[in-house]
Structure 1
Amino acid sequence: MRSSGSGRNSGRGNHRGAGNERDERQGQGRPRKPRPEERRYDVGPGATKDGPKSGRGGAARGGAKGGPKQSQQGGRGRTAPARSREYEARTEERNRERYAGKKDIKLPKTFPGAEQEGERLQKVLARAGYGSRRACEELIEQARVEINGEIVLEQGRRVDPEKDEVKVDGLTVATQSYQFFSLNKPAGVVSTMEDPEGRQCLGDYVTNRETRLFHVGRLDTETEGVILLTNHGELAHRLTHPKYGVKKTYLAAIVGPIPRDLGKRLKDGIQLEDGYARADHFRVVEQTGKNYLVEVTLHEGRKHIVRRMLAEAGFPVEKLVRTSFGPITLGDQKSGWLRRLSNTEVGMLMKEVDL
């Protein structure tokens, strides 16, 4: 009984030992996998049987994720030296010298119409304020648009805004970023963009504009009415040049009675100190007793020309208002109000001076 019991006990007690002996016998034919507690993590590139050269694990040298990666160039276990800035600069200079004498290679254009230059016509019209691109395409479909005197019938036509002349319904389109305004100048405002004496001037009405504007012609300080502001230098020059004879219309308040031949005298010419001055049109607009409101149209632009003509004829002006400058009329625009000219008005101005 004791011997059998002791055998069972000895078998239980030597269970782990028997397993170890079995593992050793099985491991004689093949290598045994190390247990987790027996695994070593300091083996890798640059390590020896006794351990790593530097005393640090291979994971710190790129053997595991997170460590610096090693380059395979220049031998196993070595890192490639970083290139200096001087080396990179010399390399770039050699490359420039190598390709300095070679011509630029023109790559083929792979999309339709890429070989054409300029902007699409409907885009130019849309930027000029003729509506959306679809609306501008409808203008082209209606044969209302012409380029350099030729009516455009196909969509997608390209133009050069700097060179080509574009017209809609016979009126020139301002294809560039020009601005055109009409101001109803009040009395007492100086016709300059800046005034060194601090008086109210035209520049006070356009201080918030991104581009610099300048006035077209002048009005006397006490004269009210239409004055144009723009950044289109050529248009402003032609509108004030006597060669183009752009007409201006004024309403003048005078005290009568006036003779019937006053209009004929003004049209025939009034002798002034700087030569004759002639009116293109004259009529009486309103009469209230001895007070008359007369309309005078002329194409000259000399200083105080209307006031001087009527004063020389014997009728000093009490109040003067310019009601139109060429095709631009005052209408119901209030005193001191600035408004942007429409595309049609700009086209009419350009047509007036052959632009």
Structure 2
Amino acid sequence: MSTPVRLDKYLADMGIGTRSEVKTYIRKGRVKINGIIVKEPDIKINTISSEVYFDNEPIVYETVEYYMLNKPAGVVSATVDNHCETVVELIKSGRNKDLFPVGRLDKDTEGLLLITNDGDLAHRLLSPKKHVPKVYYARIKGMVTKEDVETFRSGIQLDEDFITLPARLDILEAGDISDIKVTIYEGKFHQVKRMFEAVSKEVLYLKRLSMGELYLDESLAPGEYRKLTEYELNKLKGNE
């Protein structure tokens, strides 16, 4: 069921401009509803059934947004920060002011990050009870061995009161610098880095590839983003 919304609020909410700016646009005849030019900013419209056009481009009313971001290094996983650029600030097309990152990646970590304003979905993905898998690619200083694979599979004690769930460690290339993939089921602070420190190795580069059923679109360069597809969203919500 849709609650009627003032036309100027509708357009402002969808990022067309400020309330005062969109009032000017409306009065200049740049807005159509169901094919008819409307010049009254205070007219009430149905957000579901009304077809709204601005400069002949359709404007669909969205209250919930979902973006896949390929997080670059040097950007912090936060909504605001006094010193560094945040992941939310990268989402230039975001229309809602309440977007936030689902979970966090370290400042120097790259890769998949979901940006949304859907608190329920975020809670489901981050709940410790759900054990949502997260897959990372990493470059490791030191030879990663089969013994490390077994150690990760057994769980690693990181704190006095925390032992990781069994993690999957796949060795892609072993050497003085090793390439690996690792799948973990929690999201503790610096967890992957701390797990390798526990086996006397150092993470040189870290990139998240997937979170649950959401996989990084490799066509996105670091810092680029796009909206989730309907298929991706349904998979993420468990509707597929």
Q: 1:338 to 1:331 in 2, by over 3 A?
A: closer
- Partner in structure 2 of residue 282 of structure 1: 169
Q: Does 1:266 align with 2:152?
A: yes
Determine the C-alpha separation between the residues in 1 that align with 2:110 and 2:181: 14
Determine the C-alpha separation between the residues in 1 that align with 2:147 and 2:100: 40
Instruction: Verify the 8 A CA contact 1:249 1:324 in the aligned structure 2.
Output: yes
**Amino acid in the other structure paired with 2:73:** A
Say which of 328, 332, 335 aligns to 2:222.
335
Q: 1:331 to 1:279 in 2, by over 3 A?
A: farther
SS in 1 for 2:203: coil
Q: Kindly state the Cα deviation for residue 326 of structure 1 after the two structures are TM-superposed.
A: 1.2
Q: Which has the higher contact order (CA 8 A, sep 6+)?
A: 2
Q: Does 1:219 align with 2:67?
A: no
TM-score, length-scaled by structure 2? 0.69
Q: 1:224 to 1:268 in 2, by over 3 A?
A: same
Determine the C-alpha separation between the residues in 1 that align with 2:211 and 2:144: 27
Q: Kindly state the Cα deviation for residue 209 of structure 1 after the two structures are TM-superposed.
A: 2.2
Q: Per residue, is there more helix in 1 or in 2?
A: 1
Q: 1:177 to 1:257 in 2, by over 3 A?
A: same
Q: Kindly state the Cα deviation for residue 303 of structure 1 after the two structures are TM-superposed.
A: 0.7
Determine the C-alpha separation between the residues in 2 that align with 1:179 and 1:208: 10
Instruction: Give the alignment of 1:1-355 within 5 angstroms.
Output: 177-197=63-83, 199-212=84-97, 213-273=99-159, 274-287=161-174, 289-332=175-218, 333-351=220-238
Superposed CA RMSD = 2.2
Determine the C-alpha separation between the residues in 2 that align with 1:311 and 1:279: 17
**Amino acid in the other structure paired with 2:234:** G
**Amino acid in the other structure paired with 2:72:** P
**Amino acid in the other structure paired with 2:90:** Y
Q: Kindly state the Cα deviation for residue 257 of structure 1 after the two structures are TM-superposed.
A: 2.2
**Amino acid in the other structure paired with 2:149:** G
**Amino acid in the other structure paired with 1:206:** I
Instruction: Verify the 8 A CA contact 1:270 1:313 in the aligned structure 2.
Output: no
Determine the C-alpha separation between the residues in 2 that align with 1:331 and 1:292: 24
Larger radius of gyration, structure 1 or 2? Answer: 1
Listed one character per residue, the Cα deviations across residues 292-325 of structure 1 (whole Å, up to 9, x for unaligned) are 1111001101111110011111111111111111
Between the aligned residues of both structures, percent identity stands at 35
Listed one character per residue, the Cα deviations across residues 242-291 of structure 1 (whole Å, up to 9, x for unaligned) are 1111110011111232332211101101111241113431111134x421
**Amino acid in the other structure paired with 1:184:** N
Instruction: Verify the 8 A CA contact 2:102 2:113 in the aligned structure 1.
Output: yes
Listed one character per residue, the Cα deviations across residues 107-164 of structure 1 (whole Å, up to 9, x for unaligned) are xxxxxxxxxxx58xxxxxxxxxxxxxxxxxxxxxxxxxxxxxxxxxxxxxxxxx9xxx
Instruction: Verify the 8 A CA contact 2:196 2:202 in the aligned structure 1.
Output: yes
**Amino acid in the other structure paired with 2:96:** T
Determine the C-alpha separation between the residues in 2 that align with 1:327 and 1:248: 9
TM-score, length-scaled by structure 1? 0.48
Determine the C-alpha separation between the residues in 1 that align with 2:105 and 2:144: 26
Instruction: Verify the 8 A CA contact 2:154 2:167 in the aligned structure 1.
Output: no
Instruction: Verify the 8 A CA contact 1:180 1:341 in the aligned structure 2.
Output: yes
Give the ranges of 4+ consecutive aligned residues of structure 1 lying more than 6 Å apart after TM superposition.
none
Q: Kindly state the Cα deviation for residue 196 of structure 1 after the two structures are TM-superposed.
A: 1.6
Report the number of matched residues: 180
Determine the C-alpha separation between the residues in 1 that align with 2:124 and 2:232: 16
Determine the C-alpha separation between the residues in 2 that align with 1:207 and 1:259: 43
| Structure 1 residues without counterparts, runs of 5 or longer | 1-117, 120-160, 162-175
| Structure 2 residues without counterparts, runs of 5 or longer | 3-47, 49-61
Determine the C-alpha separation between the residues in 1 that align with 2:206 and 2:144: 17
Determine the C-alpha separation between the residues in 1 that align with 2:170 and 2:191: 17
Instruction: Verify the 8 A CA contact 2:136 2:182 in the aligned structure 1.
Output: yes
Instruction: Verify the 8 A CA contact 1:255 1:292 in the aligned structure 2.
Output: yes
